[in-house]
Amino acid sequence: MNTYDSQVAAGILEKEGFEVIAEADDPEDCLDALGKPRLSKGADIVLMNTCSVRDHAEERVWGRLGMLGKEKKENPRLIIGLMGCMVEEHREKLFKRFPYLDLMVGTRHIKELPAMIRQVLETRKQVARIKQDGISIEYSEYTKRGSGFHAWLPIMTGCDKACTFCIVPMTRGSEVSMPAREVCREAERLVSGGIKWITLLGQNVNSYNGRGTGSGERRMSEATFPELLEMLCSIEGLERVSFTTSHPSDATEELFQVIARNPKIGRRFHLPLQSGSDRMLKRMKRLHTYADYKAKIDRLRALVPDISITTDIIVGFSGETEDDHGATQRALEEIRFDSAFIYKYSVRPGTPAALLLDDVPLDRKVSRNQELLVAQRAITEAKSQSFLGKVFTVFVEGRNSDNPKEQIGRMDQDRRVILEADQDYVGQFVRMEFTGLHHETFRARVASSR
Ligand code: SF4
């Protein structure tokens, strides 16, 4: 969602005559891009799009703001802005703690960025637009995408679940869905511009209801999520539809059936488990037990044998014992995820879990995290090795910037593939035989075009 927001911000700013001179995804790249030589070469504005999901992400932004404060002492004309969830979470505190911060824009006001920057330029006063209600998704024809073939498409945002560890309901607000006809209209517009692969976005796409985005225009449901998927699959020229993220309690048989009968739907299903212990799941208020979760995965795998299942795991949540940790270890071995994002729990102030004791010592969080990472790495490696020598469909997205002889693609299971071929396949779905594996990237050669 943040990637999409950044693309919208960059596109709108360029349309209004601003020039984007550096973009960085990774915090370390950010440091390089924001380093002094670059700034003094002419950046007038630095915008950071922030995430509040983990303490670690926030810490990095605090550090970066400190660095930018020093830069501003030498270059008082520099405009420093913050976007994203930290703005929603910390609001006024940010202006007080960082008086040199010029602007803050909430997740629902990105289109106002150019006007806000102009206001700062004219008045040199701090300006903020942060409001949680109202329209939360707006499609922009000026979105600046990294790919000419793939687009992110938010269909809903916010969340009405109340997982005790999670800051999202506070930062992104209550659930709102885009009406289905608007999603389809936007998808058709994207396809007419050359997009072939769309990834639908939402905090919990499974609870999509198509009821509209503004409080004054809530209607009867236009479509469920499975119905929306079917509508999108019928769009000519749209070759692949993926989505993220799902919630186990809303992932239904109807959804699995739709995935099974639509080859256009990507073969990766990301379903956060969070813990293998029912006691922890209850403390997290996840609304599912391990047995519920496992039954859904078994059903999905039975219906869609080539589906890749990925997950999120939190280690060291409040009250987690060795037994709870053991249950998560067993879950990894039993389900054998294709990959898993495994994080140490960090308290998010303001969440229900912030009232619980954060009683797992850091060294235990670190060791449990390591144990799960090692176990999952072995599973991922074994699964990846089993792909070698087989043929899969891969979408070729572009050339490798480090080695233009190589073409880069993604398979239906959303894994990265490097293709060595003389012929140009960029923009095509190609059947490829997998010949090698380096870290998590496959190497492949063309088997036969589809
Ligand atoms: S469903 Fe996801 S976004 Fe919603 S509260 Fe739970 S973890 Fe957060």
Give the nearest ligand 1 atom to 160 CA.
4
287 backbone φψ class: left, alpha, beta (φ>0; ψ -120 to 50): left
> CATH no. for residue 10?
3.40.50.2300
Q: Which helix (H) or strand (E) segment is 406 a member of?
A: strand 403-411
In a domain, 30, yes or no: yes
For every residue of 95-150, DSSP letters joined together read: HHH-TT--EEE-TT-GGGHHHHHHHHHHH---EEE--SSS------TT---S-SSE
User: Of 106, 129, 152, which residue constitutes the final position of a domain?
Assistant: 129
In a domain, 186, yes or no: no
- Distance between Cα 44 and ligand 1 center (Å): 37
- Distance between Cα 185 and ligand 1 center (Å): 28
Predicted local distance difference test score (pLDDT) of residue 133: 56
**pLDDT tens by residue, the chain, 450 residues:** 888 888 889 999 999 999 887 776 654 455 555 555 455 455 788 899 888 877 888 888 888 888 888 888 888 888 999 998 888 777 778 888 899 999 999 877 888 999 999 999 999 999 988 866 555 677 878 888 878 899 999 999 889 999 999 998 888 888 888 889 999 999 999 999 999 999 999 999 999 988 765 554 545 557 999 999 999 999 999 999 999 999 999 999 999 999 999 999 999 999 999 999 999 999 999 999 999 999 999 999 999 999 999 999 999 999 999 999 999 999 999 999 999 999 999 999 889 999 999 999 999 999 999 999 999 999 999 999 999 999 999 999 998 878 888 999 999 888 999 998 889 999 999 999 999 998 889 999 998 644
Residue 376 phi, psi (nearest 5) = -70, -35
- Distance between Cα 168 and ligand 1 center (Å): 6
In a domain, 197, yes or no: no
Strand 79-84 to 103-105 pairing: parallel
Cβ atoms within 10 Å, residue 224: 20
Testing ligand 1's pocket by substitution, the residue of 161, 165, 206, 246 carrying the most ligand atoms inside 8 A of its CB is 161
In a domain, 58, yes or no: yes
The answer to whether residues 168 and 351 touch, using CB atoms and an 8 Å cutoff, is: no
Residue ID of nearest Cα to ligand 1 atom 2: 203
User: Of 94, 111, 129, which residue constitutes the final position of a domain?
Assistant: 129
Residue ID of nearest Cα to ligand 1 atom 1: 161
CB-based pocket (< 6 A), ligand 1: 159, 161, 163, 166, 168-169, 203-204, 247
* Cα torsion angle, 278, 279, 280, 284, sign: positive
Predicted local distance difference test score (pLDDT) of residue 225: 96
In a domain, 29, yes or no: yes
Please give the Cα distance from 214 to 211 (Å, whole number). 9
Please give the Cα distance from 375 to 344 (Å, whole number). 16
Give the nearest ligand 1 atom to 286 CA.
6
Enter the pTM of the model. 0.87
In a domain, 95, yes or no: yes
> CATH no. for residue 439?
2.40.50.140
User: Of 129, 147, 165, which residue constitutes the final position of a domain?
Assistant: 129
- Distance between Cα 354 and ligand 1 center (Å): 15
Testing ligand 1's pocket by substitution, the residue of 85, 107, 159, 341 carrying the most ligand atoms inside 8 A of its CB is 159
Give the domain extent around 9.
2-129
Cβ-based neighbours of 212, under 8 Å, separated by 6 or more: 176, 177, 178, 179, 218, 219
For every residue of 228-270, DSSP letters joined together read: HHHHHHTSTT--EEEEE---GGG--HHHHHHHHH-TTB-SEEE
For the chain, the domain total comes to 2
- Distance between Cα 284 and ligand 1 center (Å): 10
Closest CA to 210 of 176, 252, 241: 176
DSSP secondary-structure letter at 352? G
Please give the Cα distance from 196 to 210 (Å, whole number). 23
Predicted local distance difference test score (pLDDT) of residue 195: 96
- Distance between Cα 246 and ligand 1 center (Å): 9
Closest CA to 158 of 114, 116, 215: 215
In a domain, 429, yes or no: yes
In a domain, 444, yes or no: yes
Predicted local distance difference test score (pLDDT) of residue 220: 55
Give the nearest ligand 1 atom to 203 CA.
3
